[in-house]
Structure 1
Amino acid sequence: MATFFQSDASSKPRSARLRAQPRGAFACSSRVESLAERLSQTARLRRFTPFAPFAQLSHLTRLTPLSLALVSALVHAQTSNANSDASTTTGSTLAPVFVTANPLGDSDLISPATSVGGDDLTLRAANSLGETLNGLPGVSTTTYGPMVGRPIIRGMDGDRIRLLQNGVAAYDASSLSYDHAVPQDPLSIERVEIVRGPAALLYGGNAIGGVVNTIDNRIPREPIQGVTGAIDASYGGANDARAGAAQVEAGNGQFAFHVDAFDRDTSNQRIPGYAHSAAQRAADGGADEPYGSIPNSDGRWHGGAVGTSYTWADGYAGISYNGFQSDYGSVAEDDVRLRMHQDHVAVASEIRNLSGPFSQLKFDFGYTDYEHREIDNGEVGTTFRNHGYEARLEARHKKIGPLEGAIGVQVSQNTFSALGDEALVPTTQTTNIALFGLEEWQVTQRLKLSAGARLEHVKLDPTPNGNERFANAQGRDFNAGSVSAGALYQLAPAWSLAGNVAYTERAPTFYELYANGPHDATGQYLIGNPDAQKEKAVSTDLSLRFERGPNKASAGVFYSRFRNYLTEYNTGRLVDDDDEVVPAGTDDALNEAVYRGVRAEFYGVELDGKWRVFAKGAHRVDVAFTADYTHARNVDTGEALPRIAPLRATLAADYGYGPFGARAELVHAWAQHRVPEDDLPTGGYTTLGLILTYKFRVGPTNWLAYVRGDNLTNQDVRYASSVVRDIAPEGGRSVMVGLRSTF
């Protein structure tokens, strides 16, 4: 279940604030009681790949769950005298929890924001980031097999959703194509913060749909005294996923160090029946189709990180390196494998309690070197590369009359190239410089207002590199501006009303401008629009919220109208890899598609609630309900936009008794018949999930054991948001067992 994430911006120590909050059987980060529990969240940090100064640790990338447990046990045996309780931290003014939705760290968020962490994130972790977050209010996922999934927010995906690591970009190729994985393992994340709608504009025009910010502790932001660590191991699921991780953190109260590693290995995904849907089998003319499993859906990835920081009473400064490697199959092409490698270096610092006009400065920098190769029958077909940096500086100013606020600057530059058989875009350098600001005014005890703005300059420089298809590609410059306003009104002690409105501009991306080549992952020959103009949207949302003790609820509606929504439009022609027209029935024929701007609108509703229905002694029962619906259409033609999730509803019951916990979850998704003319509809489904947990201690170590059953009704589940839904459904009935320990 989603929760509104809250943060205290006062000088009260973070560990004390966390201890003051209530704890449930499935605690998320907003309920963590102590730093020890927060460390249990980071139990999933586990990636490490060879890096010159740390090459001697590269063997960690090959650790299995068992060997990871042994490594951690050895470390624990040598440090068992170290106190792992939160009291080991020093300093009285620890950094407040970062809130993506509001750089001011305000506990009363106007924007619709969700945070997932702690046990809640552990128990919902899947093989991809998109699947891990799927089902949260307004969030669905792209899928291209079990290893690949990128979050969709309110029906928007690709370059309209910004994926961040600790507030800055970690470049990849996931927004370009649905078969490109996000190079993050969900178990390597401490917390995920999701911002939906207009409030995301502080992160740029390509956050027009929202922001997903994954947060880790690879640069320790707080003092660490002694040695602490965590291990995590799990097995099972519909693809026999074997995953393991280990993390160790150490410090002397000023200098802090972090090392983590992870490994995940999966087999082909098991499914309840045919891989191809009934409609697809009919269109295939009765050809033999895979049954019981999806061919070439296996994969492996591994990695890890090292980081260090220097902390003091009023801030920290540090640096980290993390690496990621993967090898997974394409479910659409039996002979194609994707081998990915990413290196990411981050620098971060925060200084608080400053004199002068600014009370706090926060700096984040990330440099990424990404590459993946598509291997066809053992030979490299296409190589995708993306490397660049992003830097972000936020300055919180002291009160100016009734106003509290922050201003900032963001600079980024990255170079993307695609070389080989599927070189559908030229090598393109994109440079972005932006200024942004946010101000809040507590008008009365009940009413709070906010206003934000962002101005950015985007420059794209293409290079043909000898490819004749891109010989005429010209550079483009865009100035994009965005503004937003919001209000939060306290109707009663437990009731509040929040609203936001924004005008947002997004510059077209390199592939929307310059694409000119075959794209086998979607079965298209894509042609960009070199004259494309900025995408402009007016968005608004309104939500009614209730919170009293353990009972929380929110009901919200949203509406977005685009003036120049850039989307792919099929021309109706079938072409070959050289964009030459071919007759119907030709092998490997592609649908020709062009990017063009249309008027579009998105609107929908999001419901989220949790109620304590029984509490007696140590027994507790909570009931939760989540539902969302998105309607998206081309205003000019009335045609539905593609890959929109249908109406979905989730009903769950949580039971807690001392160290024991249980959760039953029933999910129903209705059929999706509102699809473009050339798409096939998807059927509805009802799935049942069950989680059993047990927490215990062995000496100074804390343990969490769990069993998770997914799709126990063994339904044929095909997400309407998946481009391969008719050839690769989601997994069938599965059971996963896991064990996590912190010391």
Structure 2
Amino acid sequence: MIAQRTLLASAVLSALATMSASALAQSASQTQQPQQTLPSVTVTATPFNDTPDNQILAPAKVLSGDELRNKLGGSLGDTLSLEPGVSASAFGAGASRPIIRGMEGPRVKILQNGMSVLDASTFSNDHAVAGEAATARQVEILRGPASLLYGSGAIGGVVNIVNDRIPTVLVDKPSGEAEVRYGTADRGKQVSTSVDAASGNIGLHLDGNFRDADDYKIPGRADLGDPDSASGRLPNSFARASSLGFGAAYIQDWGHIGASVGGNDDKYGIPTEERSFITLKQTRFDLDGLLRNPFANFESLRFKVGHTDYEHTEHHEDGEPAVTFKNRALESRLELTHRELAGWRGTFGLQTENSRFSALPAEHDDDHDDDDDDDHDHDHGHATVPLTKTESIAAFILEERDFGPLRLSAGGRVESVKHKPEAESALPSRDFTLGSYSLGGLWSFTPGYALGLTGSVAQRAPSVEELYSDGPHEATATYDIGDANLRKETSRNLEISLQKTEGLVRWKANLFHNQVKNYVYGRMGDTVDDHGHVEPDGEFTERFWSQGDARIRGAEAEVSYNLYGDGLSLRGFADTSRGKLTNGGGNLPLQPTTRVGGEVGYKQGDWRSGFSVLHAKKQTRLAGFEDFAVPSYTRVDANLSYTQRIGAYPVTWFAIIKNLLDDDIRLSTSVLREVAPLTERNLIVGVRTRF
């Protein structure tokens, strides 16, 4: 609470200081430089395609251009971990998922072009996200309840990877970009490209990425408490990934209709004593159509369909497969946007999702491909998660209206979720009816300044793994035990924000309070063998999916000067959050610590440079079964780039140094924080071009 008050006080003082600084900067800019022009950025994951500063339901951040390339990491979590309110699960180099305001896993929805990635990354922190930021045009973060639009899996927030795989506009000539980079700490080699072209009214798109990284170097010992633990390179921390996608669309004045196909093929190590590794494959098909002015009084009708065939296998050190996770899923989405009616503009629609998910011993996983509902006659082995069919259907509406300087937004969603395990498992089917709604306002009380207030209620159905798990999980060394009687989560969220959105000096501060009834979390128990029998020297630790009422509250603040202009630029931010089980239940596990950071940049002509510092406090707010207080750390990064023209093409040479001080960095949100620090000082060099 003290840290939260300190952060709020700092935000208020920064706001007051920057008001006066803004006047000085504006006066100086009138004589020294032209008015700053911001790049055109819209948030595609919201129905109004508005700018980040005009979001009401969920404060938004968009990473694109050089900012995205400089922050690009080997995983999605690593790429986004320096944004206010966002941390990472950091399960080695191959798997790191974003954690938003202390919420992770099935509470954070990962999208690709507005559709769920439909992988297995919500199941556990060791599962990689089947989406690639290296080929993205932009990555969007919606912090706060976004379940109105994307379902109960978005109760904590949304990350949308936008790669424009299905074109929506025709280009005059082939265009795109390509990049090659190399990192010293992991001998990481990466090549990525994205190309757009057109033939008549047919738009074409191709993107691909290849990454190959060895075990990465660490600053000290892998285990702080063990002088005999690994040093130098962290064993089994390698990561290899490749992706390829192709899309085409027929584009006319009336809209477009298109399709795409893409695939991911990954292999990465789990840096634990067991030294297991994961191989992952996914094939994905998408359809996307847009009709402009389809009916009277309607602006557009949009439909999307996505189908994925996902599989990953966890292997023992010797390569023997242990458990195979499969998810075959189909998602559809229909949105209808109406013209202004009595001053209101809005969107309503339907969303469906059908999936077949399982986590079975590798020798018995072929049942997943059987679409017959009848019982099976043969033995499964001991399933970590039995084959389970999930069906969901939802209707949603979101409306917005301006009352002079006040913009109001209201919305609601009704969703039905049904989980049906195969009859052989003898587990009960579960049905959930979910209701979510939100009301918010953004008041521009003077030009360039706005005050926002949002209240929302969002509900989440327990996931398949939380309900039906009962088996060993090799990569995390846990024996997961679900509870088929879990109830739905209900989150009541209140958020207030204050922001300045014009001029060279800009800032934003958010306060949020989230009360969650029936919060589902993993509670650790005894050590057991691979059959779940208590064994003091057992290979696995019991993880019980349990429920309790929880409260998560926190704050974020960010201030910037000349962020997108030439010359000097400055940025500072801080965030804090605390999650607790109410009624004396103690702290929630794997919670982010308080952080404060700053950036200095300089742009002049063809040169760009940047320097950033992030300090994270020691995390002493531990759950009852946690015994490792993550030490504080300071991360210093720097970057330098130069752009020249070779023929008709701009070519940018760049160098990025991450963890310049070679600090031992361990994240409080990581299950592996005791045995797997982040990489040591890493010099990344490369070249990219646009054409």
Q: Establish whether TM, by shorter chain, passes 0.5.
A: yes
Take 1:314 and 1:123, find their aligned partners in 2: how far apart are those partners? 38
Take 1:579 and 1:190, find their aligned partners in 2: how far apart are those partners? 46
2:597 to 620, 627, 650: 650
Take 2:149 and 2:195, find their aligned partners in 1: how far apart are those partners? 34
Q: CA offsets per residue over residues 99-126 of structure 1, 9 Å max, x none?
A: 3134464772213111111111111100
Question: Which residue of structure 2 aligns with residue 458 of structure 1?
Answer: 417
The alignment status of 1:666 with 2:613, answered yes or no, reads yes
The 1:98–1:647 alpha-carbon spacing in structure 2 relative to 1, beyond 3 Å, is: closer
Task: Give the SS at the match of 1:187.
Answer: coil
1:380 to 298, 305, 321: 321
Residue type of the alignment partner of 2:430: R
The 1:593–1:327 alpha-carbon spacing in structure 2 relative to 1, beyond 3 Å, is: closer
Question: Which residue of structure 2 aligns with residue 606 of structure 1?
Answer: 556
Residue type of the alignment partner of 2:687: L
Residue type of the alignment partner of 2:189: R
The 1:113–1:501 alpha-carbon spacing in structure 2 relative to 1, beyond 3 Å, is: same
What does residue range 337-736 of structure 1 map to in structure 2 within 5 Å?
337-376=277-316, 377-420=318-361, 423-444=383-404, 446-463=405-422, 471-570=425-524, 572-582=525-535, 584=536, 586-588=537-539, 590-612=540-562, 620-679=567-626, 680-736=628-684
Question: Which residue of structure 1 aligns with residue 22 of structure 2?
Answer: none
Task: Give the SS at the match of 2:148.
Answer: helix
Q: CA offsets per residue over residues 320-367 of structure 1, 9 Å max, x none?
A: 111110111111145422111000111111222344131111212111
Q: CA offsets per residue over residues 252-307 of structure 1, 9 Å max, x none?
A: 352111122221100101001101123xx2xxxx6x31111110111211121111
Question: Which residue of structure 1 aligns with residue 34 of structure 2?
Answer: none
Q: What is the CA-CA distance between 1:551 and the residue it aligns to?
A: 2.4
Residue type of the alignment partner of 2:113: N
Contact 1:101 1:200 in 2 (8 A): no
Q: Which moved more, 1:633-642 or 1:331-340?
A: 331-340
Residue type of the alignment partner of 1:611: Y
Q: What is the CA-CA distance between 1:315 and the residue it aligns to?
A: 1.7
Q: CA offsets per residue over residues 571-601 of structure 1, 9 Å max, x none?
A: x43322222222x3x141x332322220100
Contact 1:685 1:715 in 2 (8 A): yes
Q: What is the CA-CA distance between 1:228 and the residue it aligns to?
A: 2.0
The alignment status of 1:292 with 2:232, answered yes or no, reads yes
Q: CA offsets per residue over residues 364-397 of structure 1, 9 Å max, x none?
A: 2111001111121121111111111111111101
Task: Give the SS at the match of 1:123.
Answer: helix
Take 1:442 and 1:259, find their aligned partners in 2: how far apart are those partners? 40
Take 2:150 and 2:64, find their aligned partners in 1: how far apart are those partners? 22
Contact 2:165 2:245 in 1 (8 A): yes
Residue type of the alignment partner of 2:45: T
What does residue range 237-248 of structure 1 map to in structure 2 within 5 Å?
237-248=184-195
Q: Which moved more, 1:481-490 or 1:308-317?
A: 308-317
Q: What is the CA-CA distance between 1:245 and the residue it aligns to?
A: 2.0
Residue type of the alignment partner of 1:472: A
Take 1:657 and 1:213, find their aligned partners in 2: how far apart are those partners? 32
Contact 2:135 2:194 in 1 (8 A): no
Q: What is the CA-CA distance between 1:508 and the residue it aligns to?
A: 0.8
Q: What is the CA-CA distance between 1:237 and the residue it aligns to?
A: 4.4
The alignment status of 1:190 with 2:149, answered yes or no, reads no
Task: Give the SS at the match of 2:587.
Answer: coil
Task: Give the SS at the match of 1:271.
Answer: coil
Question: Which residue of structure 1 aligns with residue 94 of structure 2?
Answer: 147
Q: What is the CA-CA distance between 1:459 and the residue it aligns to?
A: 0.6
Q: Which moved more, 1:109-118 or 1:264-273?
A: 109-118
Task: Give the SS at the match of 1:513.
Answer: helix
Take 1:735 and 1:99, find their aligned partners in 2: how far apart are those partners? 33
The alignment status of 1:223 with 2:170, answered yes or no, reads yes
The 1:130–1:613 alpha-carbon spacing in structure 2 relative to 1, beyond 3 Å, is: closer
Question: Which residue of structure 1 aligns with residue 9 of structure 2?
Answer: none
Task: Give the SS at the match of 1:548.
Answer: coil
Q: CA offsets per residue over residues 161-216 of structure 1, 9 Å max, x none?
A: 00111111121111111111112232121111111113443211121100111111
Take 2:146 and 2:526, find their aligned partners in 1: how far apart are those partners? 41
Q: What is the CA-CA distance between 1:613 and the residue it aligns to?
A: 9.8
The 1:664–1:299 alpha-carbon spacing in structure 2 relative to 1, beyond 3 Å, is: same
Take 2:180 and 2:610, find their aligned partners in 1: how far apart are those partners? 21
Question: Which residue of structure 2 aligns with residue 99 of structure 1?
Answer: 44
Contact 2:180 2:190 in 1 (8 A): yes
The alignment status of 1:317 with 2:270, answered yes or no, reads no
Take 2:171 and 2:390, find their aligned partners in 1: how far apart are those partners? 39
2:54 to 104, 108, 114: 108
Take 2:87 and 2:658, find their aligned partners in 1: how far apart are those partners? 17
Question: Which residue of structure 1 aligns with residue 365 of structure 2?
Answer: none
Contact 2:599 2:611 in 1 (8 A): yes
Contact 2:344 2:401 in 1 (8 A): yes
Identity within the alignment, %? 34
What do you get for the CA RMSD once the two structures are aligned? 2.0
Residue type of the alignment partner of 2:92: G
Take 2:344 and 2:217, find their aligned partners in 1: how far apart are those partners? 56
Take 2:179 and 2:67, find their aligned partners in 1: how far apart are those partners? 15
Residue type of the alignment partner of 2:54: D
Take 2:564 and 2:127, find their aligned partners in 1: how far apart are those partners? 45
Q: CA offsets per residue over residues 458-495 of structure 1, 9 Å max, x none?
A: 01110165xxxxx3201111110000000000121121
Question: Which residue of structure 2 aligns with residue 740 of structure 1?
Answer: 688
The 1:333–1:356 alpha-carbon spacing in structure 2 relative to 1, beyond 3 Å, is: farther
Structure 1 alignment gaps of length 5 or more: 1-29, 34-95, 466-470
TM-score (normalizing by structure 2): 0.89
Take 1:381 and 1:678, find their aligned partners in 2: how far apart are those partners? 27
Take 2:631 and 2:527, find their aligned partners in 1: how far apart are those partners? 28
Structure 2 alignment gaps of length 5 or more: 1-36, 363-381
What does residue range 111-122 of structure 1 map to in structure 2 within 5 Å?
111-122=58-69
Take 1:635 and 1:697, find their aligned partners in 2: how far apart are those partners? 60
Task: Give the SS at the match of 1:366.
Answer: strand
TM-score (normalizing by structure 1): 0.82
Task: Give the SS at the match of 1:364.
Answer: strand
Question: Which residue of structure 2 aligns with residue 63 of structure 1?
Answer: none
Contact 2:170 2:197 in 1 (8 A): no
Take 1:405 and 1:613, find their aligned partners in 2: how far apart are those partners? 32
Task: Give the SS at the match of 1:291.
Answer: coil
Q: State the aligned residue count.
A: 633
Q: CA offsets per residue over residues 123-148 of structure 1, 9 Å max, x none?
A: 11000001000021110010111121
Take 1:552 and 1:314, find their aligned partners in 2: how far apart are those partners? 39
Runs of 4+ off more than 6 Å: none
The 1:200–1:510 alpha-carbon spacing in structure 2 relative to 1, beyond 3 Å, is: closer
The 1:124–1:613 alpha-carbon spacing in structure 2 relative to 1, beyond 3 Å, is: closer
Take 1:115 and 1:414, find their aligned partners in 2: how far apart are those partners? 30
Question: Which residue of structure 2 aligns with residue 327 of structure 1?
Answer: 267
The alignment status of 1:176 with 2:130, answered yes or no, reads no
